């Protein structure tokens, strides 16, 4: 993957997340600061998604855990074969929020 494609892919992903959360009327705030996308829930808990440009990876962190993803077969997956979307849903569930995403 070219570096420009990497950045565009992740920026599209962040926009997709924000649009889908808004469509579900989730009470969250989404904020982008450089290479970090932060989702802050109404109780103050956060889910952090950030770029790791040197590795061309996407990282997801919350109290439910931290995960590193590589882009394979047109999706972001970790070493265990779990998809980004499945683990993002798990992160929300850890905080008691039920969400769904169309990847």
- How high is the pLDDT of residue 102? 86
**Two structure tokens written together for 100:** 């769904």
Say how far apart CA 15 and CA 101 lie, in whole Å: 12
- How high is the pLDDT of residue 40? 97
CB neighbours (10 Å) of residue 37? 23
Residue 27 and residue 39 in contact, taking contact as beta carbons nearer than 8 Å = no
Q: Report pTM.
A: 0.93
- How high is the pLDDT of residue 54? 94
Counting as low any pLDDT under 70, the low residues of the chain are none
Measured in whole angstroms, how far is the alpha carbon of residue 13 from the centre of its chain?
A: 7
The tens digit of pLDDT for each residue in 51-70 reads: 999 999 999 999 999 999 99
- How high is the pLDDT of residue 1? 86
Instruction: Return the H-helix or E-strand segment holding 31.
Output: strand 28-33
Largest CA distance in the chain: 38
């Amino acid at each position: 993957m070219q570096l420009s494609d990497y950045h565009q892919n992740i920026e599209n992903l962040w926009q997709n997340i924000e649009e889908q959360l808004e469509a579900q009327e989730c009470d969250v705030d989404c904020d982008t600061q450089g290479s970090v996308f932060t989702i802050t829930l109404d109780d103050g808990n956060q889910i952090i998604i950030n770029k790791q440009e040197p590795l061309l990876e996407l990282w997801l962190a919350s109290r439910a855990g931290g995960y590193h993803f590589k882009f394979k077969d047109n999706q972001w997956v970790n070493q265990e074969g779990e998809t980004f979307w499945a683990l993002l849903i798990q992160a929300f569930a850890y905080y008691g929020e039920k969400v769904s995403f169309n990847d």
